Amino acid sequence: MTIKPSNQLVKSALSGHSWLGLCVSALMYLICLTGTLSVFFEEFERWEQPEIEEYSTYSTKQIETALSYFSNRIEKTPESVYVVLPTQAVPRIHISGDGKEWFVNQNGSLSSPPEEGWTHGLKALHTTLHLPQTLGLIVVGALGAMLCGLIVSGLLAHPRIFKDAFRLRLGGNKRLEQADVHNRLGVWGTPFYLMIGLTGAYIGLISVLVAFAAPAFYDGDREAIIEAVYGGDPELSQPVVPFNIENAFETLAREHPDATPIYMVFQKMDTEQQFLEIAATLPGRLIYSEMYRFTTTGELLDHQRLSDGPVARQVAYSVYRLHFGHFGTGWTKIVYGLLGAGLTIIAATGVNIWLARRKKVSCANDMWLAMVWGTPLALAVSVITNNLWQLPVSGFWLTLLSSIILCCVFKGGSRSKTILIRLTGLSLVLVMYQYYLKFGSFDLNPAALKINMAIILMLSVYLLLVIKRFFIKR
Amino acid sequence: MNDYFYFPVIINFIGIAVIYACWNHFNRNKFALNFVGWGVITISMLFWVEFYGAEYGIVFSCISISITGLLCLGVNYQRRPQKVVQKNYQNNWIGVRQTSTRFLTFLVAGPLALFACCALCLLIPHWFSEQRSHNLVLAAFLLPILWGLVSFWVCAKDELLVPFVVILLTGIFSSLILFL
């Protein structure tokens, strides 16, 4: 017995899928592309500031020295001071509080502040589309929800999608080719894309739900909801003395030997309620971290029960790593990057199918082409504008706008595409040139080397393709 | 990466290869072969979970199925000469009626549907108040799925009136239950 949906259902599902996809296409493409790159944001941050000292071991004396330097540099003691510890992905320490932040040298002295450069712009583009924080998060969360809707409707709209799971016809009819790429990438990546959409929507829409739930259940107290889900802070009253960090680390190592500290927070500093939190990852767990709380003397108070508390709390705290692929080894990031690129292609081919089905060509074709090929160009140009004038955001949007105008003026699909690809290549060459000029080397740290090698490899492949095409033409 | 990394990868690959071979070569016993293929994939999932724990294991398993499937696709593709169809360049201005219809669709599928879905999802923690924090998280995960599906439904309908009325009434009734 086979369950076959009626033709009417398939037709209306296809229509709904097409319209929903078209409505969100441009922003979806932007989010998917920037999301794919954002998987590697830690590497990009190290690439942007390769001169910062890197090390994987640290001492409590180093942290204490950094704390005293930090206290001297700021005017007022912040309520919370964060010390982010070195990890395999980011072997650097940085200290922050009240919006002030510095990297820490191996001797405990403070180094440069982290730059709000290109990577910051990239992350902001992915998480908020450069809109005001809350609005941007909601818009991006809404796109996550639409992605979930598109996945389910895509499966409903294509009854043969599993039957044709291995069929990929390239060339020939343009619409058929684009449909094959769209459907095949879609069907094989479904579980991953659903996971990404769901976790992304959760991150973005949680504020909307909290705004609704607070008056309904907690008399408008939003903090109470956060506390109910994630757990609250301990209530303490103790003499104000300096923190015994060494004792806290020793206690943690003794009581929870599996835990690997990733950052620490000095909460309510210089008050009787002060306490120390050490966030630590646990092997095989997707939760961002478990929070171990200590008194000023370094005695373990409790842990927030993010790893062994209510299931809902564990699930809610696992969303970040699951969405960004920051767990396991470096391979996880690479696979996330590949599947993210797949989702970007799905977003692009979805609109291509709609355009190919039309009997005419219009400025919509040019604008979409500009969106698809202009976004990588805009991202490359934003690196240059960031290096020259610290303006990555304006650089990005101005380039994208120029690409759209250029494509609408030229009105020639393939010609505009070639120009945009060449300009992207040229921009990447300029990025490499600027990088060498600024830092004098491509391998100041392993992350910088990997990213520079990836860019050089991309440029080489492109150059080889251009040469090949040139000889074929002759 | 531990020493057992290749084991579930290989088993997963065998599972996908069986399904691929069945799709590509066999006309008979398709159901049985597909069953065997998915069975092997399930076994590979168990190995992922065994070696990496439940959380990493399930995610790695899903990812490995995607990657292996796409690799098979890369092996199986057919390339034909590109057919270039010349089309006329023609810009048609979108009419006021069409623009307003699309704007209304956006309002119904966007903010209105979000309001209704939020209120509907929050009925779970409202009715099951003993484990409210649990159910709030459940509602937070349910919201995007529900909203996505409702938006899809609005876009799939030719007429906007029915979705508008249904969504509006759902939102109002759910809110009344929540706040009264």
Read off the pLDDT of residues A339-366 as tens digits, 9 standing for 90 and up.
Answer: 999 999 999 999 999 999 888 888 889 9
| Per-residue pLDDT at A359 | 86
pLDDT at residue B2 is higher than 70: no
| Per-residue pLDDT at A474 | 67
- Residue to mutate among A15, A151, A166, A354, with most B CBs inside 10 A, is A166
- In the three-class reduction of DSSP (H, G, I as helix; E, B as strand; rest coil), residue A70 is classed as helix
Percent of chain A, pLDDT > 90? 71
Q: Is the Cα torsion angle A213, A215, A216, A222 positive or negative in sign?
A: positive
Percent of chain B, pLDDT > 70? 97
Question: Which among A333, A350, A397, A324 is positioned nearest to A130, based on CA atoms?
Answer: A397
A46-72 residue pLDDT tens: 999 999 999 999 999 999 999 999 999
**Contact check, Cβ <8 Å, A315/B137:** yes
**Contact check, Cβ <8 Å, B132/A212:** no
**Contact check, Cβ <8 Å, A185/B70:** yes
Residue in B92, B136, B152 nearest the CB of A153: B152
Q: The tokens of A63 are what?
A: 């942290």
> Nearest chain A Cα to B149, which residue?
A149
Q: What is the ipTM of this complex?
A: 0.90
Q: How confident is the model at residue A1 (pLDDT cuts 50, 70, 90)?
A: very low
Q: Which residues of chain B lie closer than 8 angstroms to A228, CB-CB?
A: 132-133, 136
**Distance between CA atoms of A152 and B147, rounded to whole angstroms?**
12
B142-179 residue pLDDT tens: 999 999 899 988 888 888 899 999 999 999 999 999 98
> Nearest chain B Cα to A8, which residue?
B156
A8-17, A188-197, A338-347, A449-458: least confident range: A8-17
Average pLDDT value for chain A = 91
Residue in A172, A286, A361 nearest the CB of B55: A286
Residue in A147, A190, A362 nearest the CB of B91: A362
**Contact check, Cβ <8 Å, A313/B55:** no
Residue in B1, B81, B140 nearest the CB of A206: B140
Task: Please provide residue B52's backbone torsions phi and psi, each rounded to the nearest 5 degrees.
Answer: -115, 0
Mean pLDDT of A19-39: 94
**Distance between CA atoms of A66 and A74, rounded to whole angstroms?**
12
Mean pLDDT of A91-99: 93
Residue in B73, B136, B148 nearest the CB of A148: B148
pLDDT at residue B45 is higher than 80: yes
- Residue to mutate among A169, A181, A212, A229, with most B CBs inside 10 A, is A212
pLDDT at residue A2 is higher than 70: no
**Contact check, Cβ <8 Å, B178/A216:** yes
User: Taking the CA of residue A150 as centre, how many other CA atoms within 13 Å lie in the half-sphere pointing to its CB?
Assistant: 27
A221-254 residue pLDDT tens: 988 888 888 888 888 888 888 889 999 999 999 9
